[in-house]
Amino acid sequence: MSIRAIATLVIALVLGLVAVLIINSAINKPPPPPPVAAGPVIPGTPVVVAAQPIGRGVAIQPALLKVVNYPAGSAPAGAFASVAAVADGKMAPRVALRDLNPDEPVLSTRVSDPGGKLNLSDILDPGMQAVSLRTDDISDVAGFVMPGDHIDLLMTRTLGANTVTQILLENLKVIAIDQIPDTEFSKPYVAHVVTFEATPKQAQIITLARSVGNLSFSLRHIQDTSKLLQLATSTASAAFAPPGAPPAPAAGRSRSKAGPPPEPFGVVRVTRATETTVYQLGGQ
């Protein structure tokens, strides 16, 4: 057999082997997975949120913010779409009007305008007013009342021979002491003026009460929001005799007129018309 014939035979065998391998691979190849139906693509809305806790009164810098994607239509009112809209490093910084928690949206109602300052009117809740009262370090919790605390307002006045202390208003929120609306106090501060939130009606009551009696307040526990059961205490109910009051009458006797002395034991007095007969019981 010639060399040419042998070469042709080898090439044919190699090609046949390659064809067998290709066919075998095509037969044993697993079927492709079924196509996965793609869900609807929901467009998002960028919203600026706090990247870390931001305290009230803090100047807002870009490093304190980040942008997250909210579902379309769910962005809160007053939200910002970019960090540059809140703080771009060129305009005067805004100031946080409320404490902001991480991932909390930064809204236009929670920050001041560029270059703004934290004013007392910004701290008030909608519909509330600020009312101030003078205080001292003895009668009003010795300077331990701080912004953010809650107090009960008391009024003491004299009614006739009685002195009465009553709860005028309950659970009022302190928003400033003196001219300081800051909550970051580490030590007791003896203030001369305490300012707290009140409704317009409560503000009228407090203003009127100033001319009626003496006002003071008591400090509540930070988690105490309960209603008080006893709203007033008088000198009589507290067993304090008013100055110059007459002694209390003996029990069972009239204050204006004393009755006849009681009969001895075993004696019965019977009156018929104008005649009275005395009977001694027990044969005595």
78 contacts 123 by C-beta, under 8 angstroms: no
Confidence of residue 284 (pLDDT cuts 50, 70, 90): very low
Residue 190 and residue 126 share a domain:
yes
Q: What is the DSSP letter of 162?
A: E
Q: Are residues 97 and 109 in the same domain?
A: yes
Boundary-marking domain end, from 118, 139, 172: 118
Residues 111 and 169 in one domain: no
Q: Quick check: is 109 in a domain?
A: yes
Q: Are 92 and 136 contained in the same domain?
A: no
Domain count, the chain: 2
Q: Tens digit of pLDDT for each residue in 120-151?
A: 776 777 889 988 888 765 455 656 778 888 98
What is the pLDDT at residue 22? 82
Interval 105-117: pLDDT, tens: 999 888 888 887 7
Residues 131 and 77 in one domain: no
Residue 283 lies in a domain: no
pLDDT at 256: 43
**pLDDT at position 262:** 54
Alpha carbons within 13 A on the beta-carbon side of 18: 6
pLDDT bracket for residue 275 (50, 70, 90): low
Is 158 contained in some domain?
yes
In 37-126, where do the E strands start and end?
A: 44-50, 65-71
Say whether both 106 and 128 belong to one domain.
no
Q: Are residues 182 and 101 in the same domain?
A: no
Whether this model's pTM surpasses 0.85: no
CATH number at residue 49: 3.90.1210.10
Instruction: Judge whether 220 lies within some domain.
Output: yes
Task: pLDDT band for 252, please (50, 70, 90 cuts).
Answer: very low
Whether the predicted pLDDT of 68 surpasses 90: yes
Residue 66: what residue type?
Answer: K
**17 within some domain:** no
Residue 169 lies in a domain: yes
Is 84 in the same domain as 139? Answer: no
User: Is residue 50 a part of any domain in this protein?
Assistant: yes
184 secondary structure, DSSP code: -
Domain that holds residue 87: 43-118
Q: How far apart are CA 72 and CA 104, in angstroms?
A: 18
